[in-house]
Amino acid sequence: MARMKFICDAERCIECNSCATACKNENEVPWGVNRRRVVTINDGVVGQEKSISVACMHCSDAPCMAVCPVDCFYRTDEGVVLHNKDTCIGCGYCSYACPFGAPQFPSSGTFGLRGKMDKCTFCAGGPEENGSTAEFQKYGRNRLAEGKLPACAEMCSTKALLGGDGDVVADIFRTRVVQRGKGSEVWGWGTAYGKAPNQATSPNGKKS
Amino acid sequence: MRAAILVLSVGALLAACGEPDQTKAAGNTNRADVVPWQGAHNPHMAKGWNPGNQASWENQIRARGQLQNEYIRTGSGNATAPGGTTR
């Protein structure tokens, strides 16, 4: 069983925003909603600038699913977290719960009216019939049902953003890390929560 | 006759004990969504796989995923990982 995952290689991302553009175009995302965006840290600092493309990470234990009061989320057998816009009430709880800022809300009316939640679908559409017009209008393209991968990953110019079956994506990333001798330290507990200063950080001890 | 009535009575009583699962949880809502390997039935379908065949779809997704691997796309000799398997 394929388990869909994204990973973004911070060593390769050049902040070109083609992933965000491809997503907007492919899914005809409403004005004001960005299902995917590029986050840059140390912007402008020579040698320390790092960018990463962020969207819904389709968590295995998704907090958005846990907090939704109307239970509009569901997870497919491929591990993609989707939601039903017919059930969504636009309360915004998922937005507060998500650590990645994935849930977005279009301002589609007067007085700042908040519409139904919109987020990355891993280009897997929604509950409507696969590839139907109704599905496209609500959720965008269903590329998975077309035998394709998400447009953002397939369009990435440097292949920093990888998407697809978790095993394949992990293999590609692992091969890269081994070839260039660094990069494995950008993920994991140490990066998120800190580590001892003298701790080895990569296979050959170099920091990225 | 009494035995039949007794059996029917017991059956009716036990039927009242049964209760369909009414839990509304993320695990069992919206499951009407059709699996992606059934295909999209539109003109944008990628070629090389058979809609309705899960194994075919998974192979297609894995093959498509490997198009992101430049070590394979460029035909580089670096496509072989330390473990000896081709990535």
ipTM of the prediction: 0.84
List of residues 6+ apart from B12 with CB closer than 8 A = none
Percent of chain A's residues with pLDDT above 90: 64
Average of pLDDT values for B55-74?
A: 92
Report the pLDDT value the prediction gives residue B31, as an integer from 0 to 100. 62
Give how far A205 is from chain B: nearest CA, Å.
Answer: 18
- Chain-chain contact of A175 with B25 (C-beta, under 8 angstroms): no
Contacts of A141 in chain B (CB under 8 A): 44
**Can you give the pLDDT at residue B17?**
77
Q: How close does chain B come to A195, measured CA to CA in Å?
A: 28
Q: For position B14, what pLDDT does the model report?
A: 80
Residues B61, A179: C-beta atoms closer than 8 Å: no
- pLDDT band at residue B84, thresholds of 50, 70 and 90? very low
User: Using CA atoms, how far apart are residues B78 and B87, in angstroms rounded to an integer?
Assistant: 9
pLDDT at B42 (0 to 100): 87
Closest by CA to A106, choosing from A28, A21, A24, A33, is A33
Predicted confidence band at B72 (pLDDT cuts at 50, 70, 90)?
confident
How crowded is the C-beta side of A160, counted as CA atoms within 13 Å? 21
CB contact under 8 A, A168 and B66: yes
Confidence at residue A107, expressed as pLDDT on a 0 to 100 scale: 78
Among the listed residues A44, A43, A89, A96, the one whose alpha carbon sits nearest the alpha carbon of residue A67: A96
| Best CA proximity match to A146, nearest among A131, A165, A162 | A131
Which chain A residues have a beta carbon less than 8 Å from that of B46? 146-148
pLDDT of B82 above 50: no
Nearest-CA distance A110 → chain B (Å): 31
Position A65 pLDDT exceeds 90: yes
C-alpha A58: how far from chain center? 7
The whole-model pTM stands at 0.80
Per-residue pLDDT tens over the stretch A88-99: 999 999 999 999
CA distance A66 to chain B (A): 8
What is residue B64's predicted lDDT score, i.e. its pLDDT? 94
CB A36 within 8 A of CB A53: yes
**HEC readout, A94-130:** HHHHCCCCCCECCECCHHHCECCCECCCCCECCCCCC
A39, A45, A46, A51: CA torsion to nearest 10: -10
- Best of A60, A172, A184 to substitute, by most chain B Cβ atoms within 10 angstroms, is A172
pLDDT of A162 reads: 96
The answer, for A59 touching chain B at a CB cutoff of 8 Å, is no
Neighbouring residues of B53: CB distance < 8 A, sequence distance ≥ 6: B37
DSSP code of A35?
S
pLDDT at A53: 96
Higher local confidence (pLDDT), B30 or B2: B2
Contact in structure between A174 and A168 (CB atoms under 8 Å): no
Helix segments in A112-188, DSSP class H? 133-139, 151-155, 166-180
With contacts defined as CB-CB under 8 Å, which chain B residues touch A1? Answer: 58
Cα A115 to Cα A16: distance, rounded to the nearest angstrom: 29
What pLDDT, on the 0 to 100 scale, is given for residue B73? 81
Model pLDDT, residue A188? 66
**Mean pLDDT calculated for residue range A136-140:** 94
Measure the CA–CA gap between A202 and A208, rounded to whole angstroms: 8
Distance CA B30, CA A187 (A): 33
User: Is the CB of B64 less than 8 angstroms away from the CB of A162?
Assistant: no
How do strand A50-54 and strand A37-41 relate by DSSP bridges? Answer: antiparallel
Q: Is A96 exposed, middle or buried (0-12, 13-18, 19+ CB in 10 A)?
A: exposed
Mean of the per-residue pLDDT values for chain B?
Answer: 78
Residues of B whose CB is below 8 A from A2 = 58, 61-62
Whether B44 sits inside 8 A of A145 (CB atoms) is no
Average pLDDT of the residues in A8-33: 93
Q: Greater confidence, B33 or B40?
A: B40
Q: Locate A106 and state its tokens.
A: 């279009």
Interface check for A22 against chain B (CB to CB < 8 A): the answer is no
Query: Which chain B residue has the Cα nearest residue A86?
Result: B30
Among A151-160, B17-26, B52-61, the range scoring the smallest mean pLDDT is B17-26
Return the closest-CA partner of residue A102 out of A59, A49, A56.
A56
What count of CB pairs under 8 Å joins A to B?
130
Q: Which residues of B touch A146 (CB under 8 A)?
A: 39-40, 42, 44-46
On chain B, the residues whose CB falls within 8 A of the CB of A27 are: none
For chain A, which domains are there? 4-182 (3.30.70.20)
**What residue segments make up the domains of chain B, in order of their start?**
47-87
Helix axes A166-180, B54-66, angle to 10 degrees: 20
Residue B22 has what pLDDT?
63
Q: Supply the mean pLDDT for chain A.
A: 88
